[in-house]
Structure 1
Amino acid sequence: MKTAQHSLILAAVVAASLPALAAVGADEAARLKSSLTPVGAERAGNKAGTIPAWDGGLTKAPAGYRNGDARPDPFAADKPTLSINAKNMAQHADKLTDGVQALMKKYPDFHIDVYPTRRSAAMPAFVYDNTFQNATRAKVVDAGHGVEGAYGGIPFPIPKDGYEAIWNHRLAWRGGNYTMPVRVWVVTADGQRNMASGGVQTISQTYYDKSGSLDKFDGFYQYGKFVANAPGSKAGEAILAHDGVNASAPRGLWQYLVGQRRVRKAPSVAYDTPDSVTSGIGLFDEAFNLFGPIDKHDLKLIGKKEIYIPYNNNRAAAAKVDDLVTPGTLNPAQVRWELHRVWEVEATLAAGKRHVVPKRKYYIDEDSWQIVLLDGWDAKGQLWRTNYSLMLTAPDIPAVSSFVMWGGYDLQTGAYYLNMSSNELPRQYEVKEPIPRAFFSPESLSSEGGR
């Protein structure tokens, strides 16, 4: 009898620790057409008037814009309303992440210029329609690390736990299919800047294939390929990733190394393995602020808060490298910050797991469902890493994207990097027609990487 009771109690404890599985009801989903935006953000502004109401975002390309051009700053006339640095940050601490405050303390010249908040995020109508359907049918599986019942939209526009919020980031709309030439800049503690990698990044968000449907979806939500062309020592190297929504579509990773002249599976391109693309300053699961599985951590949804985040950084995307990538930190004069509401998700090391960053905090923009800032602590409880995305605004898509101009600071060594930078390159984030799956096959990797 005692054994049976013990089993029941243990089962109850385990069930309570797992993420919720139920989708929201029809009544709650109806808020997506009233008090919430079509993807679940608060439609109204804040009480202080410092965050405006969402009015649909930016949905029209600027006059004369051609696909692949550098996108002009839609708010070029705006002026900063506030500048925060180490001297006055205590007055604004409730709206600053730990990582931003650490940068201010470490670098006396570092500051953030705060501009008027512009809720520019927008998505196509089909994304809104699919999001509404997902709200009442999607659910997490695989102990929170998988999803069922979602297609073509935000899966959990009214999230109930950290797992749902993180899946919203993974499956956020960024344009469907796109490519861009990129360079990765690293800056050492003594202020020396070097190009760690250069190449072409191509991504296909097959989850957003407009000709597809939930019934036809094979479970692979995204395919990505990076082919290096610089520096000479890395030219020809390539990485390929197939990302699935649950265990029925297992993740695939392959790497082509010129010296070996063969394609091999690359399971180590994950978790806390130092990221070779960033010369080891970043970790692979920090790429794009989240890359690959994070099942070594338990996720908790802390709630929503107002903080200053990088946003609408088209000016930074068009800046000269010398003007943007400066010693110590990115040039504060080139980076635009705004006050936005974000979802905060805390990740703590799961029992029996190992990871060099046992605690993290993710900050997810409510309007786009993309991680904008990320902080990480070491095993001693010391803040170690702080990552960012500068958020590009692309009304021609329409979208705002965290998949460009992202990077991270190592607060202990003083090094930092900027990844997915197209600054001074002939093309920017360029939307493509659906890309054939064969382009993302392991067989194609050696032929393209070895050119």
Structure 2
Amino acid sequence: MINKTFLGFTFITSLAVGLPTYAAVSTQEAGALGNTLTPLGGETAGNADGSIPAWTGGTKQSPATGNNFIPADLFAADKPVLKITAANMAKYTDKLSEGTRALLQKYPDTFRVDVYPTRRTASAPDYVYKNTAANAVSCKLTQNGQSVEGCFGGIPFPVPKSGAEVIWNFLLRVEPEAVEYGFKNVVLTSDGGQTLATRNDNAWQYPYYYQKGSVQSWSKEYFLQRFSTTAPAFKAGETLVIRDSVDPQQARQAWQYLVGQRRVRRAPTVAYDTPDFVASGANYFDEVQGFWGMPDRYDWKIVGKKETYIPYNTNGQSTAPMDKAFAPHHLNPDTLRWELHRTWVVEATLASGKRHAVPKRTFYFDEDTWLLTLLDGYDAEGKLWRTSQVLPFVVPAVPAVLIKPVAVFNLQAGTVSNVQALNGENFRVVPLKSELYFTGDAVAAEGVR
């Protein structure tokens, strides 16, 4: 059961979808940012017993060295303060998600949660802090929670009043203007095997975070993506272009180049609960990066705010070599760092008239970054079916805590889809490209084989 006690906040229960447009918070509420709240909306103070320290500014910006902007180990001297296993998990149930408890029970001999000292590394460039403060008093939900207006370049709702506001905080989370990286989709099979589904070169661009942008000039597109598959050989050259907007009328535009067809075509099904062909169908498209796409198929409700053991500062896992990153049925506990953080717990239930293979989900969002860290999915009978571990890593060159990799567990099938694994790859913050690069026409013009 989820502890529904708010820590330092009044308990909120509100549905966003289906309700009228929300007004922004008052100037007085927004004034807490940078004082009792961090500039992005987390509680500045630590918790009562000190196991969560006060936020003191997070990671400071520092220049990147080499081709990989993800430092391997920011806290090399840290040792686990706690090791949670199936044998002792009962003592820590109130701080574990249901999915984490299920993994401890399913793999009692190999899966464990190594809890390290909590490091509140969340930070962002000053322009993001400034924009977040402005958003607090100007940003509003529109179209029954399916869109937003009046925000740009920062967290839209740093003092959230509804579940829909929290999911938009995640969708519009802090990002650099543009990044490039290689990634692998690795599937762990029920018999303990490991398969490389695809290896890909990826480019992302975030118009919502353009430093020279504004509320007035923003196109309403919040990310642009283009990637090409390089392995296995029979898929090499396949390309996918995706553009997401806060406008529900053009929420996702996608184009795919298929080697066999030798042409670019629209790909409208690259969304929601369509099996992700980039990962051999081992996860749904909206499970990429935890949750990926429009929130319109669910009603969103804040359940509460609670202290939770979550993956955090996972640079060591993301930079580990392939042979160290994975165990037969889960991520390697030796490389995965967990910490105690306050999380917003949000429940998503299927909206009236909508369909989705996963009709109910429970999300755990880190209060400091609004990053999704854990996600539990339930089947039509209300039984836990899926659980995801999203891996926040620190990039001091921004500075920010970012996510890309996610491990999606199908608990009933005993499989794991490791999506956008960065192991053995380089991650770089790069200059902006022309937005024309992120179009189907550009892919066709380049004559990808």
- The TM-score normalised by the length of structure 2 is 0.93
- Equivalent residue letter for 1:83: K
Q: How much does 1:216 deviate?
A: 0.9
The match for 1:3 is none
Identify the range of structure 1 (338-347 vs 317-326) with the bigger mean alpha-carbon deviation.
317-326
Q: Match for 1:422: what amino acid?
A: L
Which letter maps to 1:28? E
**Which residue number in structure 2 is paired with residue 435 of structure 1?**
433
Asked whether the equivalents of residues 179 and 431 of structure 1 are also in contact (C-alpha less than 8 Å), the reply is yes
Structure 2 residue aligned with 1:247: 248
Aligned-pair distance for 1:20?
5.2
Cα contact 2:21–2:143 (8 A) shared by 1: no
AA aligned opposite 2:414: G
TM-superposition CA deviations, 1:302-346 (whole Å, max 9, x none): 121110000111111221211111201111111000000111110
Query: In the alignment, which residue of structure 2 is the partner of 1:421?
Result: 421
The 8 Å contact of residues 72 and 316 in structure 2, kept in 1 or not, is answered as yes
Q: How much has 1:16 moved relative to structure 2?
A: 9.8
Structure 1 residue aligned with 2:257:
256
Distance (Å, rounded) in 2 between the aligned partners of 1:16 and 1:237: 37
- 1:166 partner amino acid: I
8 Å Cα contact 1:219-1:249 kept in structure 2 = no
CA contact (8 A) 1:236 1:449 kept: no
Which AA in structure 1 matches 2:335? Answer: Q
Contact 2:177 2:211 in 1 (8 A): no
8 A Cα contact 1:285 1:294, kept in partner: no
Correspondences of 1:268-417 after superposition (within 5 Å) = 268-403=269-404, 405-417=405-417
User: Percent of pairs identical after alignment?
Assistant: 46
Deviation at 1:352, TM superposition (A): 2.2
User: Contact 2:371–2:392 at 8 Å: present in 1 too?
Assistant: no
- Tell me the alpha carbon deviations over residues 203-237 of structure 1, each in whole angstroms, 9 at most, x when there is no partner: 10111111111111111111011211111121111
Is 1:135 aligned to residue 136 of structure 2?
yes
| Distance apart, 1:15 and its partner CA | 10
- Aligned-pair distance for 1:249? 5.0
- AA aligned opposite 1:415: T
Residues 217/417 of structure 1: CA separation in 2 closer, same or farther (3 Å cut): same
**1:325–1:74 Cα change, 3 Å:** same
Between the aligned partners of 1:202 and 1:264, the Cα distance in structure 2 is: 20
Residues 345-397 of structure 1 show CA distances to partners (whole Å, capped at 9, x for unaligned) of: 10001122221100001111111111111110011111010011121111111
1:228 is matched with: 229
SS across alignment from 1:32? coil
Distance (Å, rounded) in 1 between the aligned partners of 2:354 and 2:215: 34
TM-score by length of 1: 0.93
- 1:8 is matched with which residue? none
Per-residue CA deviations over 1:12-48 (Å, capped at 9, x if unaligned) read xx99951651100101100003100011100000111
Distance 2:79 2:22 in 1: 45
Task: Give yes or no for contact 1:134–1:154 (8 Å, CA) kept in 2.
Answer: yes
Give the SS at the match of 2:103: helix
Aligned to 2:170: 169
SS in 2 for 1:332: coil
Cα displacement (A) at 1:250: 3.8
Contact 1:19 1:163 (C-alpha < 8 Å) held by counterparts? no
Deviates most, 148-157 or 393-402? 393-402
Q: Is the 8 Å Cα contact of residues 239 and 258 (structure 2) preserved in structure 1?
A: yes
Asked if the contact 2:391/2:406 (under 8 Å) is kept, the reply is yes
Instruction: Write the distance in 1 (CA, Å) between the matches of 2:169 and 2:20.
Output: 15
The alpha-carbon distance between structure 1 residues 253 and 15, as it changes in their structure 2 partners (threshold 3 A), is closer
Distance 2:414 2:114 in 1: 22
1:81 aligned partner: 81
Aligned partner of 1:445 in structure 2 is: 443
| Inter-partner Cα distance in structure 2 for 1:157 and 1:212 | 20
SS state at 2:365 partner: strand
Q: 1:382 to 1:449 in 2, by over 3 A?
A: farther
Structure 1 residues 75 and 15, CA, compared in 2 at 3 Å: closer, same or farther? closer
Name the CA distance, whole Å, in 2 between partners of 1:55 and 1:19: 37
Q: Give distance in 1, aligned partners of 2:97 and 2:445.
A: 44
How far apart, CA to CA, are the structure 2 residues paired with 1:121 and 1:192?
A: 36
Pair 1:158-2:156 in alignment:
no
Q: Which amino acid aligns with 1:111?
A: R
Partners of 1:110 and 1:72 in 2: CA distance:
23
Counterpart for residue 190 of structure 2: 189
Residues 281, 16 of structure 1: alpha-carbon distance in 2 compared, 3 angstrom cutoff: closer
Unaligned stretches of 5+ residues in structure 2:
1-14
CA distance in 2, matches of 1:174, 1:66: 20
Contact 1:271 1:294 in 2 (8 A): no
Alignment partners' CA distance in 1, 2:219 and 2:99: 39
Gaps of 5+ in 1: 1-13
Whether the 8 Å CA contact 1:198–1:231 is kept in 2: the answer is yes
Instruction: Give distance in 2, aligned partners of 1:256 and 1:221.
Output: 23
Report the Cα distance in structure 2 between the residues aligned to 1:215 and 1:43, rounded to whole angstroms. 32
The structural deviation recorded for 1:94 is 0.6
Q: Residues 199 and 226 of structure 1 are in contact (CA less than 8 Å); yes or no, is this contact kept in structure 2?
A: yes
CA distance in 1, matches of 2:243, 2:166: 21
> What is the count of residue pairs matched by the alignment?
434
Distance 1:341 1:275 in 2: 31
1:441 Cα deviation (Å)? Answer: 1.4
Structure 2 distance, partners of 1:17, 1:321, is: 45
Q: How does 1:25-174 map to 2 (within 5 A)?
A: 25-61=26-62, 65-66=65-66, 68-108=68-108, 109-174=110-175
- 1:426-450 deviation per Cα after TM superposition (whole angstroms, max 9, x unaligned): x2x2001112101101112235582
Contact 2:17 2:164 in 1 (8 A): no
Structure 2 distance, partners of 1:60, 1:166, is: 27
Matches of 2:17 and 2:422 in 1, distance apart?
46
CA contact (8 A) 1:275 1:283 kept: yes
CA distance in 2, matches of 1:202, 1:183: 14
The more displaced of 388-397 and 110-119 is 388-397
